[in-house]
Amino acid sequence: MKLQRVLQYAQYLLSSSIEKGEIAVDATAGNGHDTLFLAQLVGETGHVYSFDVQQLAVDTTIKRLTEHGVLDRADVILDGHQHISKYIHNEIAGAIFNLGYLPGSDHQVVTKGNTTIQAIEQLLNLLKIGGIIVLVVYHGHEGGKAERDEIMNFVSSLPQKYVHVLRYEFINQRNDPPFVIALEKVKEFPKQ
């Protein structure tokens, strides 16, 4: 057995949760790699909703999907992931976040713990039983450790009766290596 790198493991988790014909979410479109991966997972009859607050990320993602002939499987939305429930009302099979900043872009535009937590709460309500939300946590940038800690506090407090929470990381790497948090919904939350 060979240990999977962080991004490989994130894709493995999503592949185990998302089937053709289902709905998936890329909460941080970035350069479009995850949106493309999800579009291939859901197939011709599924759909992906991809969010980003930067026009550059939206444009890059649309270009990547177009080049691979799967743009019709996705809505790429210029909006923050904390507004997911404005756009999605059906059950989803999985979601991914890449926290931090858009590579090759303005490093001052970063994800924030409070809006990410709002998005996670909305996604957990939409997530099917057995569905998975994956967060790839990049925390080496300014403000990254505060975001990491805020998110870790939140996910650690989720009741294990409803959500299983996993942390996957390489602990002997230097320079704040990214790690994965995976949330698997195991039971419906009680209605409020």
Q: How many CB atoms lie within 10 A of CB 128?
A: 16
Report how far residue 76's alpha carbon sits from residue 191's, in angstroms, rounded to the nearest whole number. 30
CA atoms of 138 and 116, how far apart (whole Å): 13
The C-alpha atoms of residue 38 and residue 27 are separated, in whole angstroms, by 12
Contact predicate 71/18, CB 8 Å: no
This prediction has a pTM of 0.93
The secondary element (H helix, E strand) that includes residue 154 is helix 144-156
Distance separating alpha carbons of residues 1 and 7, to the nearest angstrom: 17
Looking at the chain, which runs of residues are DSSP E strands? 23-26, 47-52, 74-78, 92-99, 127-137, 163-168, 179-185
Domains, the chain, ordered by start: 6-185 (3.40.50.150)
Measured distance CA(100)–CA(57) in Å, rounded: 13
**What is the structure's pLDDT at 3?**
83
Q: How do the pLDDT tens digits run along the chain, 192 residues long?
A: 688 888 899 999 999 999 999 999 999 999 999 999 999 999 999 999 999 999 999 999 999 999 999 999 999 999 999 999 999 999 999 999 988 765 666 666 667 778 999 999 999 999 999 999 999 987 766 767 888 889 999 999 999 999 999 999 888 888 888 889 999 999 888 776
- Give me 60's structure tokens: 């890059």
Handedness of CA 153, 159, 162, 167 (dihedral sign): positive
Sequence-distant (6+) residues with CB within 8 A of 1 are none
Torsion of the alpha carbons at 103, 109, 113 and 114, rounded to the nearest 10: -150
Per-residue pLDDT of 93-112, as tens digits, reads: 999 998 876 566 666 666 77
For 172, residues 6+ apart whose C-beta sits below 8 A from its C-beta are none
Quick one: tokens of 103? 């590579």
